[in-house]
Structure 1
């Protein structure tokens, strides 16, 4: 049996993933975690603390996925890029109802100075930086432009998965990535 804090965390993560951060109340988290609001406040100072915890964990999942891709394909940056495309493709089904958790969260935060927004922007910048390094190691001509293409491919694929505008999106991501790398 999991601890109350683990149940609260799991409930909050699930609700934030499914509904965004603005539409999840402490009451909803309490119901999902089968506890009370006081039970939540014994472990978390505020709803914002839960949001921060969720965002950090979400960023960590993406960072760890990239770490693993680089570890598995240590000497092959082109394989790293293909594995990254596979990772994004596999994740589309789980985000198709809401889209990218980072893009959606930014859309819910009006304040450009918000620490949450800045954390997301830093994550997205770091992720693009890692793709740029893979492109450079793969000796791809104009690695900055290729990084932009790959970023647009992934971001656009996530939006298209969310709105259902493109069929067979996973296959298309892989085909487009192969074509980018074949140039």
Structure 2
């Protein structure tokens, strides 16, 4: 299915069902027959709409990516462009809400990446591109702060973001406040170096 193609009601139901099952049960533990049965469609309809399980996985990951980016923009769009530090910190605010409402089983991308061991799987590209996008978003805001070595700092912020995502779902973290404070410290330390 093309990204710009409007989904039929059946395709929407298949994607919704697959998304729920893939996230909560795992990609490899769920077959197309289970997805079709749960969605109330035939396997033929599933294959007609998505072509293969791999393409359904790609659609699931792209949909999850779109949901995350929309969620994130609901936070960052409310911060004035003249406040790039607050834009960065708003990413952690968005993450906190996301983790408590959409991510009780951990990061869908991290979980999927662990399951999609074959390097050529098309779902891996979606996952890698999402992480690159987030690193670039951090770098964009860091450049607006006038910092040097933005790629290095952006990578540290990405690692912090990903680490809190994983540990939060395991109840090993005290929450986003510590990650947000650490991000602020990393950025301010680099602001002081540049001044």
| TM-score computed with the length of structure 2 as normaliser | 0.79
Change (3 A) 1:112 1:13: same
Instruction: Tell me the equivalent position of 1:48.
Output: 54
Following the alignment from structure 2 to structure 1, what is the Cα–Cα distance between the partners of residues 24 and 188? Answer: 37
Residue 126 of structure 1: aligned partner: 133
Structure 2 unaligned regions, length at least 5: 1-7, 190-195
CA distance in 2: counterparts of 1:77 and 1:16, whole angstroms: 35
Which of 15, 30, 33 is residue 27 of structure 1 equivalent to?
Answer: 33
Matched, 1:135 2:142: yes
- Distance change >3 Å, CA 104–CA 135, structure 1 → 2: same
> Does 2:71 align with 1:62?
no
Does the CA contact (< 8 Å) of 1:90 and 1:170 recur in 2?
Answer: no
Structure 1 residue 111 and structure 2 residue 118: aligned?
A: yes
Asked if 1:82 is matched to 2:59, the reply is no
Highest RCO, 1 vs 2 (Cα 8 Å, sep ≥ 6): 1
Distance of 2:50 and 2:150 partners within structure 1 = 43
Q: What count of residue pairs does the alignment treat as equivalent?
A: 180
Kindly tell me: are residues 115 and 44 of structure 1, through their superposed partners in 2, closer, same or farther at Cα, counting changes over 3 Å?
closer
Q: Aligned partners of 1:79, 1:44: CA distance in 2, in Å?
A: 40
Q: Which moved further from structure 2: 114-123 or 36-45?
A: 36-45
Q: Aligned-pair RMSD on alpha carbons?
A: 2.3
Residues 109-155 of structure 1, C-alpha deviations (whole Å, 9 max, x = no match) = 22223222123212211220121111111224542332122111111
For 2:78, the equivalent position in structure 1 comes to 72
Q: Give matches, 1:1-16, under 5 Å.
A: 3-16=9-22
Residue 104 of structure 2 is aligned to residue 96 of structure 1:
yes
1:178 counterpart (184, 191, 195): 184
Q: Measure the CA separation in 2 of the matches of 1:38 and 1:112.
A: 28
Partner of 2:43: 37
Deviations, residues 55-77 of structure 1 (Å, cap 9, x unaligned)? 11122223334555554332221
Gaps of at least 5 residues in structure 1 are none
